[in-house]
Structure 1
Amino acid sequence: MDEDDPSDEISRIEARLEELAEVAERCRKITLVSKSVIALGVGLMLVTMLGLLGSNQVAALGSIAAVLGGIVSLGSNVSTLRQTMAAISEAEALRSDLIGRIDLRVVGDEMRRRI
């Protein structure tokens, strides 16, 4: 790779940014599902505590499992999302730095010089 032409490195960074964006989107979707599972678990727990399902121990245990599983999944994906967003920020900064190093020239300048 030529030191004066960082376009290959920029292309690799852009490909990495696309991968990271997909990971971030997947984390957001899983986070939404986790929040929904927590809400359903809490709702089932309230219904069970109010006795609307009778004294159903299976529903009580299921609601507790749903809440705990949702919390674990939520925590895991939120931390992964934060790490992914930090990696995206770093990659974007590196890409901007590489783009800043490119000796860009205005197309109209060459046309004016020739005239």
Structure 2
Amino acid sequence: MTVAYDLYGAKDLALLSAKVNVERVLKEAFEERDSYYQGGIYYMLGGGDAEHFVLKLNVDPFDGGAVEQDYQDYTVLLYINATDRSSALEEIMKQAGFKLLRYEVF
């Protein structure tokens, strides 16, 4: 089994709109959280060592620049961590307005 860490981005969505879109296609509800480290309000689904999702703005709280420097044009980021279903999720995330930016296997 291959475990992947995927990064998706959306250019034309606000954070709340992105959350609604992702919840609709996944049929799961995200939990709102607040963390200075994550740049303020962000959303999470799942957790621990299992597959989990982190949805946040592409803004570094320390310098105001992009968290993901290689993808500065993307305003919203969706991290899908520890997943074994990258291919299926890529198709689903397209329906929510997201593009796969990075796929990593460790």
User: Normalising to structure 2: TM-score of the pair?
Assistant: 0.20
TM-score by length of 1: 0.19
Q: Find the structure with the greater CA-based Rg.
A: 1
- Give 1 or 2: higher helix fraction: 1
